Amino acid sequence: MTIVLILVTEMLSQVSKEELPRPFLKWAGGKSRLIPKYHTFFPENFKTYYEPFLGGGAVFFYLYNQRPKQAILTDINSELINTYNCVKTHLDDLINLLIFHTKQHSKDYYYQMRKTVEDSDLKKAARLIYLNKTCFNGLYRENSKGEFNVPMGRYKKPNICDLSGLRLASRALQSAEIEVRSFEEVLNSASSQDDFVYFDPPYYPVSSTSNFTSYSRYSFHEKEQIQLAEVFMALAKRGVKVMLSNSDTSFIRNLYKDFEIHTVSAGRSINSNAKKRGLINELLVTSYSNPK
Ligand SMILES: C[S@@+](CC[C@H](N)C(=O)[O-])C[C@H]1O[C@@H](n2cnc3c(N)ncnc32)[C@H](O)[C@@H]1O
């Protein structure tokens, strides 16, 4: 009897986990894996959530699952934001296009789609999801001209049209405002202690050989990191709750020396040589004291 009860509870918890919205795109620098380590650093009380470097939106979906809130989700990448908006407002049409891509999928079709320039927002969104689900490593990456240049991945049966995942994500996005904006524009809206801003910028490189800043055609170098620290400071002065992830480097530690800096084990390795591998740390900076 006890064993049956345990099994039923286990099955129910699996079902409810699967029914929670989560990122529908795999994105460079995605935070899904790190969220359990961030958990204790999120502020307890806020009304509006801002994510100015949206990417895959892992923190948005996580916070939504805790308690849905008003959210302002922004990123400089217009293809990405268009995809979110199509998932939010035109899901059925998008699903039809994804079913079409699923039927057509082959090596030739992948490379044909890779160079196609679509003529409508909906087709652009379907193309991005299709390439994201079928490309090598599942990562969206552009060259300096803004062209998608990732080779095809080796998935036997890629889940190009994840119906339930897309429906759950779409539902979660209904209460969100989703726009193309550069990060500093958050200064035009976040203004009080009811606001929580989470910054997850392209990371400052940990060494001269690592190149974490080239997510796309949008460069993010020292100048932008300094500008971001100024925005962080200005928001903190207004009483906004601000949190930021970045690499554990003296440059970043110095930029945020007036704030609380927490060290989080990133669970990934910095060295490609297995013998020299050690887990690297990342930084989490908060403008408020750890509430938990
Ligand atoms: C580290 S990723 C965010 C990852 C995200 N937190 C996740 O869990 O998937 C960084 C994002 O910053 C965006 N970005 C780069 N420069 C930007 C800028 N100046 N303003 C706003 N977003 C920018 C990129 O397009 C990219 O989506």
Do the strands 70-75 and 241-247 form a parallel or antiparallel pair, or are they unpaired? unpaired
Whole-number pLDDT of residue 276 = 53
Pocket test for ligand 1, best of 64, 75, 79 (most atoms within 8 A of CB): 75
Residue nearest ligand 1's atom 8 by CA: 30
Whole-number pLDDT of residue 17 = 53
User: Average pLDDT of 179-198?
Assistant: 97
User: Average pLDDT of 212-230?
Assistant: 80
Residue nearest ligand 1's atom 17 by CA: 76
Q: 265: alpha, beta or left, given left = phi > 0 and alpha = psi -120 to 50?
A: beta
Ligand 1 centroid to Cα of residue 200, in Å, is 6
User: Average pLDDT of 279-285?
Assistant: 91
For ligand 1, say whether the CB of 75 is within 6 Å of any of its atoms: yes
- Domain 18-76+181-292 in CATH 3.40.50.150: yes
Percentages helix, strand, coil for the chain, rounded to the nearest 5?
Answer: 45, 15, 40
Residue nearest ligand 1's atom 12 by CA: 53
Pocket test for ligand 1, best of 32, 76, 140, 213 (most atoms within 8 A of CB): 76
Per-residue DSSP letter, 150:
P
Residues of each domain in the chain carrying CATH 3.40.50.150: 18-76+181-292
Q: What is the pLDDT of residues 55-105, one digit of tens each?
A: 999 999 999 999 888 999 999 999 999 999 999 999 999 999 999 999 999
Q: What is the pLDDT of residues 247-262, one digit of tens each?
A: 999 999 999 999 999 9
For ligand 1, say whether the CB of 216 is within 6 Å of any of its atoms: yes
For ligand 1, say whether the CB of 43 is within 6 Å of any of its atoms: no
Residues of each domain in the chain carrying CATH 1.10.1020.10: 78-178
Question: Which class in CATH covers the domain with range 78-178?
Answer: mainly alpha
Instruction: Tell me the pTM.
Output: 0.89
A 10 A CB-CB count for 75 gives 23
Average pLDDT, the chain: 88
DSSP string, 106-124: SHHHHHHHHH---SSHHHH
Whole-number pLDDT of residue 75 = 97
24 pLDDT above the threshold of 90: yes
User: Average pLDDT of 128-156?
Assistant: 86
Q: Out of 5-19, 86-100, 210-224, pick the least confident.
A: 5-19
Whole-number pLDDT of residue 217 = 64
Ligand 1 centroid to Cα of residue 212, in Å, is 12
Nearest CA to 169 out of 69, 68, 29, 20 is that of: 20
For ligand 1, say whether the CB of 83 is within 6 Å of any of its atoms: no
